[in-house]
Structure 1
Amino acid sequence: MISVLALARFRVAGYVASHRALQPLIGLLALLAVLYAGPIPAGQEIGATADSAAMLVPVLAWAARGLLDTEPDEQRSVALSALGPRELVGGLLAAFASLLALAAIAEAALLFRLAASPTLAVLLTGVWLHLLSATAGLALGALTSRPILPSPAVSTIALILGYLSMLVISLAGARWLTVPVMGWMRDAHHGELQANLPLLTVQSLLWPAVGLAAYTRLRRTRP
């Protein structure tokens, strides 16, 4: 476990030192500037946090892919030889930690723009939705990272299409067939999110779990 945490810290440090972390951060700040150009009126806190979490997914996927792509292939192969499957865990842990930092910035920006103080239930719902967003972003970013898709152009297109697929499929109401990001927003703006949150959580974690399992399997043959 210590070796995994050490590898995760090393990869986060390398990601920050490479300045790749600035790219999704700038994208996040631009998104937040659009979302919170004006204050959020009282009573719309749930809708705003759902919009933020849903729109954050591609930015988080971009960040996860960037972190997993930072380490040179030769260095990753050395880590894989030394740690075996723990190398993969260290990479995913590092990526998820970076996504939590971005999600925390988004949540802080949301709280700063609220016209009224949120209740604890609203606050916890917002935090949970951003965690679900980070999980979806981690899976999408991992599946479009260089060990899986070596071509940067193909990787970028796959990331964009992956997110658009989430939007289109969940907009059609097929919530079990994707991460239901549109379901988050629809339920939030209709006052149904908190009642439906347990089911939405299961639906939102299903496909990231499948995606990370696929990533793990593919990494066995594509170090």
Structure 2
Amino acid sequence: MTPVIALTRFRIAGYVASHRALQPLIALLALLAVLYAGAVPAGQEIAATADSAAMLVPVLAWAARGLLDTEPDEQRAVALSALGAREPVSGLLAAFASLLALAAIAEAALLVRLAGSPSLSVLLTGVWLHLLSVAAGLALGALTSRPILRSPAVSTIALMLGYLWMLLVSLTGARWLTVPVLGWMRDAHHGVLPANPPLLTAQSLLWPAIGLAAYTWLRRTRP
């Protein structure tokens, strides 16, 4: 496992050094500035964090795609030759770590803007929602990265359409057919979000799991 971790750290360092990390970070800060232009009233913490988690998905997908696109094709081919099937895992781990950092910034911004003092369970709900957002962003970003979609234009359109699909299907209430991002927001604003965490977790992780499995499979033929 050591070579995988070493390659993961190398890819994160390359991503940061390339300054690609600044693009989704700036987008994230702009989004947070809009979301938290005013203080979050007491009792609205879960609704605010659900809004943040749902709107954060395309930013996280952009960040994941940017990290996976940073490495030159030749260098990725060398890594694939050295690590075999473990090479895509390294890229996903690096992307996951970068998304966790962005999600932590979003969660910190929420805590700073709280007008009240929420309970520990409310804070953990916020962390849980942002982790679900990270999973969705990771899968969408991986499936639209250059090893899968060679054209930058097609990749960008696919990312946007993927998130739009989440929103449109979420509107229908068909929670098992997509990541129910609007379901998070709807339930949070109606005060029923924490009613069944295991069910919502399963609904929210089903398609990211399928997407990551598809990415891993596709990488076998698209180095």
Q: Which runs of 5+ in 2 are unaligned?
A: none
Q: Which stretch of the first structure deviates more once superposed, 13-22 or 193-202?
A: 193-202
Amino acid in the other structure paired with 1:197: P
1:118 and 1:5 map into 2 onto residues whose CA distance is 37
Matches within 5 A, 1:35-114: 35-114=35-114
Q: Which residue of 2 aligns with 1:14?
A: 14
The alpha-carbon deviation at position 196 of structure 1 amounts to: 2.6
CA distance in 2, matches of 1:90, 1:137: 17
The alignment covers a number of residue pairs equal to 223
Alignment partners' CA distance in 1, 2:75 and 2:146: 14
CA-CA distance at 1:118 after TM superposition: 1.3
Match for residue 167 of structure 2? 167
Question: Structure 1 vs Structure 2: percent identity of aligned residues?
Answer: 86
Partners in 1 of 2:201 and 2:66 — Cα distance? 26
Deviation at 1:129, TM superposition (A): 0.5
For the pair 1:197 / 2:197, whether they are aligned, the reply is yes
Q: Does 1:27 align with 2:51?
A: no
Code of the aligned partner of 2:88: L
Q: What TM-score does the superposition give when structure 1 sets the normalisation length? A: 0.99
Shift of 1:198: 1.6
Question: Equivalents in 2 of 1:35, 1:172: separation in Å?
Answer: 25
Partners in 2 of 1:173 and 1:195 — Cα distance? 17
The residue that corresponds to 2:212 in the other structure is 212
What RMSD in Å do the two structures reach over aligned CA positions? 0.5
What is the letter of the counterpart of residue 62 of structure 2? W
Deviations, residues 127-170 of structure 1 (Å, cap 9, x unaligned): 01000000000000000000000100000000000000000101
Match of 1:184 in 2: 184
Q: What letter corresponds to residue 170 of structure 1 in structure 2? A: S
- Deviation digits for residues 76-116 of structure 1 (CA, Å, limit 9, x no counterpart): 00000000011111000000000000000000000000001
In 2, the alpha carbon distance for the partners of 1:133 and 1:50 equals: 10
After TM superposition, the runs of 4+ consecutive aligned structure 1 residues lying more than 2 A away are none
* Shift, 1:199, TM fit: 0.8
Q: Distance between the aligned counterparts of 1:128 and 1:41, measured in 2? A: 20
**One-letter code of the match for 1:62?**
W
